[in-house]
Amino acid sequence: MAELERLSAITLSVDGTCTLHPGVRTAVLQSLPPESHSFWRWQALATAYRAVPWKYLEPAA
């Protein structure tokens, strides 16, 4: 993360969220074959989902 921030590929906010620089997103998408975009979107979704603690995903009992 520190390396990505140092390269200005991402921005870390005060609350701990990350934002990918739009130019980096465009460059990555252009470097991938279009048929693999869906696969990598699902990988990103799975990574983000796993980063959220279960207590925030489960309804309160």
Report which of 46, 50, 28 is spatially closest to residue 37, judged by C-alpha positions: 28
pTM attached to this predicted model = 0.55
Residues 49-58 have pLDDT tens digits of: 888 787 777 7
Residues 7-37 have pLDDT tens digits of: 889 898 888 888 889 999 899 889 999 999 9
Contact at 8 Å (CB) between 7 and 1? no
Identify the pLDDT of residue 34: 93
Identify the pLDDT of residue 61: 62
Domain boundaries, the chain: 2-57
